[in-house]
Amino acid sequence: MNIYRMIDANINRVSEGLRVLEDISRFILEDSDMSRSLKEMRHIVRKSFSDSKLITFRDSCNDLGLNISQSSTIDNKEDLLSLVEANFKRVQEGLRSIEESLKVLGHYDKSKVYERLRYESYDLEKKFGLKKDFIDTDIYGITAEEFSLGRTNIQVVEEMIKAGIKIIQYREKEKSKLEKYNECKAIRKLTKDSGVTFIVNDDVDIAIAVEADGIHLGQDDMPIEEVRKIAGNMIIGLSTHNIKQAKTAVEKGADYIGVGPIFNTTTKKNVEKSEGLKYLKWVSENIQIPYVAIGGIKESNIIEVKKYGGKCFAMISEIVSSPDIVKKVESIRKLLKTI
Ligand code: TZP
Ligand code: MG
């Protein structure tokens, strides 16, 4: 049956992709933990069908994809980073294809194994030193249900994802731990399925439990060094309001800093003082880790923030209080392109 041929082709695709990644981590990056994890994954993929008759369905020479693939330039990899990215994509797409094929065949349990492997591959991709890219984006979305025009946090996150926002923070000051946990669990699924980075504000335990990509801390939260011990490789962001705090954040190992408030804001209670644009300018010239400008940023003043060194802009009210989030983001992006 052709579906077995499809599974066979994808097992090869996944194993080959994993082998390339394993070799890069072993011979180039000399990261033995990563290399071991990839090898283990490759063995699971190979072994799970080792006793089957899959090979009898193989017909590589007559595979329609061969000619297409040999004449295509899409696979040309110019640097190591693109090579790594492309091979993780290959692995993930292959795993998804196997997962779906197994469902069609009624092998639901086995299909779950492939779903789990796909999720593991997302984690490994993050750990593969590509983490620095996580904030290489223009808009940082943050939830706040009380300003969301009656929409739930989940609905707002769905809209943000539709709008193409690539990093979303769950920030919710009014709800119980259980409510926050349940919402984060749902948002984790939505963001994972769409390749969006997910950060949880304040609650390290929730961030770990739902396997968020990161945690965002304030100056009064637990120290970064302690959070690092329990959160491992997770992205840790820290809000900073002055030069001293920015320097300390870098020393303590923050992965990015929040910079603000840039302008007056009524969204945050007990908001800190900052020299706003002047502080942002200093950060843009002196700090080497990624930074996100925050506080009172609107479509009407974002160009000014950009002129003072802003690259990634966190906005709460401007986005969540917009009746059409997709249109709002589109319009901000169009504006950002003008300078
Ligand atoms: N941290 C500094 S200012 C602020 C936070 C969380 C609130 C930003 O909200 P808005 O609506 O974008 O001004
Ligand atoms: Mg906090």
Sign of the four-CA dihedral 148, 152, 155, 160: positive
- Identity of the residue numbered 141: G
- Lowest model confidence (mean pLDDT) among 23-37, 118-132, 272-286, 300-314: 118-132
Higher pLDDT, 8 or 68: 8
108-159 pLDDT, tens per residue? 988 999 999 998 887 788 777 655 566 779 999 999 999 999 999 999 999 9
| pLDDT computed for residue 73 by the predictor | 43
Q: Please tell me the number of the ligand nearest to residue 200's CA.
A: 2
168-225 pLDDT, tens per residue? 999 999 899 999 999 999 999 999 989 899 999 999 999 999 999 999 999 999 999 8
State which of 142, 168, 201, 265 you would mutate to test the pocket of ligand 1, scoring each by most atoms of that ligand within 8 A of its C-beta. Answer: 265
pLDDT-derived band at 104, boundaries 50, 70, 90? very high
196 contacts 167 by C-beta, under 8 angstroms: yes
Q: Looking at the annotation, which residues are catalytic?
A: 171, 239, 268
Ligand 1: does its nearest atom lie under 6 Å from the Cβ of 260? yes
The length of the chain in residues reads: 339
What is this structure's pTM? 0.68
Q: Please tell me the number of the ligand nearest to residue 173's CA.
A: 2
| pLDDT computed for residue 283 by the predictor | 98
Long-range Cβ contacts of 320-326 (<8 Å, 24+ apart):
320/142, 320/143, 320/144, 320/147, 320/148, 320/149, 320/151, 320/156, 321/147, 321/148, 321/149, 323/149, 325/156, 325/159, 325/160, 325/162, 325/163, 326/159, 326/162, 326/163
| pLDDT computed for residue 129 by the predictor | 63
